[in-house]
Structure 1
Amino acid sequence: MKKMYRIKKNEEFQHVFKKGKSFANRQLVIYFVRNNQYNHFRIGLSVSKKIGNAVVRNRIKRYLRQTFLELKEEIDPAFDMVIIARIPTKDMEYHGIKKSLMHVLSKTELLKRYQKTK
């Protein structure tokens, strides 16, 4: 995933937390806020030290980034998102994390196939 798709600055994370909405399941929490400043979505990943050592945390982030790369065409481009991994993700493989992320995204209607028509 290219760096232009990432949220890196603390101020940007705080903006998403304070102004955005959130949804969660047992493994992941997603915060999202509309951002019309960019013509693509941006993501920020947060994996706590409680989950495991650096190897485990980086693996989880890699899996999440890969899932977003695969779903890039299906995600509404006008949003900034922050994904927080919860403790159960440390024992999950790629397909489990992908399924969990798709579940949370479908609850938020950020995936185009799940958006309600008005």
Structure 2
Amino acid sequence: MYKKGCLNMKRTETIKNQKIFNNLIHNGKFKKNNYFIIYNEKINEDKINYGIAISNKVGNAVTRNKLKRQTRSIIDNNRNLFKNKHNYIIMIRKACTSVKYDDLESAFIELIEK
């Protein structure tokens, strides 16, 4: 799962600005499966930025935080699959609560490679 000392998302790589989030969701391209919706948009900067979103309707705070940690870990382990010069928003769906980590990772990889 999430190991101490491994490569982590840097603060500069995370998207927290609400305007960027909304713009990406309304104007970006998206792919989806049962577990994730991934929005992406090309940018001018030479880096990859990520944002993770999950609805308050999904479980309780402990469950939501666990799913966000697992998603960050999946992103860190599979950085090579992401296109450079892109912003990504990963929305976690309710179906993720009943799935094991390995299944989540394989579904995420399959979705990002579409």
Shorter-chain TM range is 0.7 to 0.9
Runs of 4+ in 1 over 4 A off after TM superposition: none
Amino acid at match of 2:106: K
Among 34, 54, 59, the alignment partner of 2:42 is: 34
Cα distance between partner residues in 1 of 2:44 and 2:69: 27
Cα distance between partner residues in 1 of 2:50 and 2:104: 16
Cα distance between partner residues in 1 of 2:102 and 2:47: 25
Q: How many residues align?
A: 106
Give the structure-1-normalised TM-score: 0.84
What are the ranges of 5 or more consecutive residues in structure 2 without an aligned counterpart? 1-8
Q: Which residue of 2 aligns with 1:114?
A: none
Q: Which digits, 9 at most, give the CA deviation of each residue in 1:53-93, with x for residues without a partner? A: 11100111111111111112332121101111111101122
Cα distance between partner residues in 2 of 1:19 and 1:86: 20
What are the ranges of 5 or more consecutive residues in structure 1 without an aligned counterpart? 108-118
Identity %: 25
Does the 8 Å CA contact 2:81/2:112 hold for their aligned counterparts?
no
Among 28, 34, 38, the alignment partner of 1:20 is: 28
Cα distance between partner residues in 1 of 2:32 and 2:42: 18
Cα distance between partner residues in 2 of 1:77 and 1:19: 19
Among 5, 11, 20, the alignment partner of 2:13 is: 5
Residue 18 of structure 1 deviates from its aligned partner by 2.0
Amino acid at match of 2:50: I
Residue 9 of structure 1 deviates from its aligned partner by 0.9
Amino acid at match of 1:56: T
Cα distance between partner residues in 2 of 1:24 and 1:34: 18
